[in-house]
């Protein structure tokens, strides 16, 4: 089992991990600001700018805030666990390495494949969305030309250097963050009557929250929309993937964890509160972005064009993060010998070129399937990738529990940790319970239940494929032990 492989001392492991990072070829070039914005960039996207009104429409104003509040708590718990693991073991593509060490190699391989597929499918959809968004300004141009152009841009940003990727993602995410802050500030001014808004001859304040009752659709929609909220927060865990390329993990990761979750809670809940106060819940963004509705209501010129630009940067930001995450998962699998090792080679800038090429090819195949087999192959890909976030989050919490147990069993104390997640063991246990609860919601929701019909056999195929590969390599004398030693990095 993976547990038997944990046997090195703290000092020895520090040196080993540093050496392995150099041998792997990746460079530690990203700073705290890059790490924070990469995490924000992976989360803040079309889900907030376009789909948030639907959540309000379903659950009501207060119900939507409660749902996003619960989602924020789950994300915070998972990120605390991930923070401790990432500081102790700052690996690039960290999730499956933790799972390999503390759960088992078959589970590690399955998690890596699921997470890679999740981002590959998302990457394909982002390129499609980018092409469609450009047609607002260039209605006579085919969308595929713009999609191809953005594919080339994102590919170049990822292939040149990790610092260029981090810098580009910083600015992409900054545009989104600025737009949200402006929205919240302008919205608050309109709520309290400092700015006139169409449809009101007085300050709206919070009357939309209680005009039709605090929960106009009842309590149940809070839980039915919770799954959507969980998926909206997926991407925060990119902090763990980028840990191996961060300059000072012990300082940067804890800071990124806390600032990211705090900002997400403020941005999401703040935006939802402003939307709910200014737009009646039954009209909230069902057909139009609630951001556009609010800006148009206060008479902001070119509201549609401004938001189209913001959503376009959100799409490119998500695609940028998606290709980065995909390539690092492939690189990490190759380093561990789970897939051909050639995919783990890096160029002189420390970029895993073959992993980037492989991931881009995977996203383009997903893009192709969305055109030629949307009702079969693509539907299955989307269904399988949709639950990957919950699986990864649950595995992080399980690994945190087992890491602490083994850390103490080796004679270390909790005070020896460079970063200690507060609230242990309540935090990881609560996160596991909440992830299981979200999976139960999938079973109870008829519209989501079919995802499990694709997910279960896909997971079984991953396990079978991994152990069949191990058996074949062992039989032919090709099996190499790529396991890393030690727990503290």
CATH of the domain at 452: 1.20.1740.10
Residue 373 within a domain? yes
Q: What is the pLDDT of residues 80-121, one digit of tens each?
A: 999 899 888 877 666 788 999 999 999 999 999 998 888 888
Does pLDDT of 298 surpass 90?
no
Determine the pLDDT at residue 285. 56
Could you tell me which residue, 60 or 372, shows the higher pLDDT?
A: 60
Does pLDDT of 36 surpass 80?
no
Residue 15 within a domain? no
Q: What is the pLDDT of residues 315-340, one digit of tens each?
A: 888 888 888 888 888 888 888 778 88
Determine the pLDDT at residue 3. 38
* Among candidate residues 273, 279, 277, 281, the one with its CA nearest the CA of residue 206: 277
* Cis before 430? omega within 30: no
- The answer to whether 52 touches 289, Cβ cutoff 8 Å, is no
* Phi and psi angles of residue 85, each rounded to the nearest 5 degrees, phi first: -65, -40
List Cα–Cα distances, 106 to 29, 310, 338, 463, 465, in angstroms.
32, 41, 10, 6, 9
* Phi and psi angles of residue 469, each rounded to the nearest 5 degrees, phi first: -65, -40
Residue 441 within a domain? yes
Does pLDDT of 398 surpass 80?
yes
Residue 417 within a domain? yes
Which helix (H) or strand (E) segment holds residue 333: the answer is: helix 303-335
Is 159 in a helix, a strand, or coil? helix
C-alpha 132/C-alpha 128 separation (Å) is 6
Does pLDDT of 408 surpass 70?
yes
Q: What is the pLDDT of residues 149-204, one digit of tens each?
A: 999 999 998 888 777 777 887 888 888 888 888 889 988 998 888 888 877 777 88
Residue 252 within a domain? yes
Residue 65 within a domain? yes
- The answer to whether 343 touches 358, Cβ cutoff 8 Å, is yes
Residue whose entry in the numeric block shows the structure tokens 């609010």: 294
Does pLDDT of 6 surpass 50?
no
The tokens for 284 are 């909230």
Determine the pLDDT at residue 480. 52
C-alpha 480/C-alpha 231 separation (Å) is 37
Which pLDDT band, with edges at 50, 70 and 90, does 377 fall under? confident
Does pLDDT of 482 surpass 60?
no
Does pLDDT of 345 surpass 80?
yes
Question: Any bridge partners for residue 30, and if so which?
Answer: 246
Question: Any bridge partners for residue 263, and if so which?
Answer: none
* Among candidate residues 296, 335, 280, the one with its CA nearest the CA of residue 108: 335
Does pLDDT of 407 surpass 70?
yes
Q: For the stretch 351-368, what's the b/e string if a residue is b when 16 or more beta carbons lie within 10 angstroms of its beta carbon?
A: bbbbbbebbbebbeebbe
Q: What is the pLDDT of residues 133-146, one digit of tens each?
A: 888 899 888 888 89
Residue 483 within a domain? no
What is the count of structural domains for the chain? Answer: 1
Determine the pLDDT at residue 429. 97
Residue 12 within a domain? no
Residue whose entry in the numeric block shows the structure tokens 């041998």: 23
- The whole-number average pLDDT for the span 399-406 is 94
Which pLDDT band, with edges at 50, 70 and 90, does 9 fall under? very low
Question: Any bridge partners for residue 246, and if so which?
Answer: 30
Q: What is the pLDDT of residues 246-269, one digit of tens each?
A: 777 778 788 888 887 888 888 888
Which pLDDT band, with edges at 50, 70 and 90, does 21 fall under? very low
Range of the domain at 117: 32-471
The tokens for 306 are 């401004």
Which pLDDT band, with edges at 50, 70 and 90, does 18 fall under? very low
């Amino acid at each position: 089992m993976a547990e038997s492989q944990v046997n090195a001392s703290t000092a020895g492991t520090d040196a080993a991990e540093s050496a392995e990072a150099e041998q792997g070829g990746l460079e530690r070039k990203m700073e705290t600001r890059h790490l924070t914005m990469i995490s924000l960039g992976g989360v803040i996207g079309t889900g907030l700018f376009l789909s948030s009104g639907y959540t309000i429409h379903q659950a009501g104003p207060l119900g939507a805030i409660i749902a996003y509040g619960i989602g924020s708590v789950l994300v915070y718990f998972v990120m605390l666990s991930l923070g401790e693991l990432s500081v102790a073991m700052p690996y690039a593509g960290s999730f499956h390495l933790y799972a390999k060490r503390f759960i088992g190699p078959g589970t590690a391989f399955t998690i890596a494949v699921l997470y890679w597929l999740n981002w590959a499918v998302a990457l394909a959809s982002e390129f499609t969305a980018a092409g469609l968004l450009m047609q607002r300004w260039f209605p006579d141009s085919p969308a595929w030309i713009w999609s191809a152009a953005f594919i080339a841009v994102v590919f170049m940003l990822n292939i040149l250097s990790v610092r260029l990727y981090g810098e580009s993602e910083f600015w992409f995410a900054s545009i989104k963050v600025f737009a949200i802050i402006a929205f919240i500030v302008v919205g608050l001014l309109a709520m309290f009557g400092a700015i006139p808004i169409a449809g009101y001859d007085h300050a709206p304040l919070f009357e939309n929250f209680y005009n039709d009752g605090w929960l106009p659709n009842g309590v149940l929609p809070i839980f039915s929309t919770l799954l959507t909220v969980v998926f909206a927060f997926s991407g925060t865990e990119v902090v763990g993937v980028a840990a191996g390329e961060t300059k000072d993990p012990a300082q940067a990761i804890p800071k990124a964890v806390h600032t990211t979750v705090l900002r997400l809670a403020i941005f999401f809940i703040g935006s939802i509160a402003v939307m709910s106060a200014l737009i009646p819940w039954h009209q909230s963004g069902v057909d139009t972005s609630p951001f556009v509705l609010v800006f148009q209501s206060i008479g902001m010129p070119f509201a549609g064009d401004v938001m189209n630009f913001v959503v376009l940067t959100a799409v490119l930001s998500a695609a940028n993060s998606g290709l980065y995450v995909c390539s690092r998962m492939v690189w990490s699998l190759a380093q561990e010998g789970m897939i051909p090792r050639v995919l783990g080679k890096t160029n002189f800038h420390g970029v895993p070129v073959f992993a980037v090429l492989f991931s881009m090819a995977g996203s383009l195949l997903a893009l192709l399937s969305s055109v030629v087999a949307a009702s079969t192959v693509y539907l299955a890909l989307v269904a399988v990738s949709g639950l990957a976030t919950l699986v990864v989050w649950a595995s992080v919490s399980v690994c945190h529990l087992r890491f602490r147990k083994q850390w103490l069993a080796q004679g270390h104390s909790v005070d020896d940790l460079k970063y200690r997640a507060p609230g242990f063991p309540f935090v990881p246990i609560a996160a596991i319970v909440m992830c299981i609860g979200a999976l139960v919601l999938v079973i109870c929701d008829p519209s989501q239940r079919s995802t499990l019909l694709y997910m279960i056999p896909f997971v079984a195929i991953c396990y079978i494929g991994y152990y069949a590969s191990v058996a074949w390599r062992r039989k032919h004398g090709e099996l190499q032990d790529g396991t890393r030693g030690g727990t503290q990095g």
